[in-house]
């Protein structure tokens, strides 16, 4: 199975901060990677697909980049509604595998 190593596992940030999360794949996955946001008690929501494509309706402060084994997710200016847990998911190789998640908390 492809291991997705997501870092950091948690971070504290303030409104307006730039936040960056990284996912590293144990082998190359081209750009077959999504990013999801999950708020407590809610279902995950897809934000980014194919590593860098923004889901329709998602604010442009969210972005993704990378290919192969290294991927980055960025929130350019953190907003109050962005405090949540973020997950990456690779879908290049069966079985699909998620990163461990990054909890973004208020500083």
Partner 1 sequence: EVQLVESGGGVVRPGGSLTLSCVASGFTFEDYAMSWVRQLPGKGLEWVTGIKWNGGDAGYVDSVKGRFSISRDNTKNSLSLQMNSLRAEDTALYYCARGQSGGWSSAPEYWGQGTLVTVSS
- The footprint of partner 1 (CB under 8 A) covers 32, 34, 36, 38, 42-46, 49, 87, 89, 91, 94-101
CB 14 → partner 1: shortest distance, Å?
26
Q: What's the first-to-final CA gap in the chain, in angstroms?
A: 36
Task: Judge contact between 21 and 73, C-beta under 8 A.
Answer: yes
CB 8 → partner 1: shortest distance, Å?
14
Count CB-CB contacts under 10 A for residue 24: 16
CB 90 → partner 1: shortest distance, Å?
8
Alpha carbon 4 to its chain's center: 11
How far is residue 12's CA from residue 35's CA, in Å, rounded to a whole number?
19
76 or 93: whose CB is closer to partner 1? 93
50 or 106: whose CB is closer to partner 1? 50
How far is residue 93's CA from residue 81's CA, in Å, rounded to a whole number?
33
CB 15 → partner 1: shortest distance, Å?
26
49 or 75: whose CB is closer to partner 1? 49
Task: Judge contact between 12 and 58, C-beta under 8 A.
Answer: no
9 or 79: whose CB is closer to partner 1? 9
């Amino acid at each position: 199975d492809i291991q997705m190593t997501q870092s950091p596992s948690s971070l504290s940030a303030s409104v307006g901060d730039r936040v960056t999360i990284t996912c590293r794949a144990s082998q190359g996955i081209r750009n077959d990677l999504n990013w999801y946001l999950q708020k407590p008690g809610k279902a995950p929501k897809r934000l980014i697909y194919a590593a860098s494509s923004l889901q329709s309706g998602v604010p442009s402060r969210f972005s993704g980049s990378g290919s192969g084994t290294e991927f980055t997710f960025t929130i350019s200016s953190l907003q109050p509604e962005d405090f949540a847990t973020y997950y990456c998911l690779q879908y290049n190789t069966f079985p699909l595998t998620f990163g461990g998640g990054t909890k973004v908390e208020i500083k």
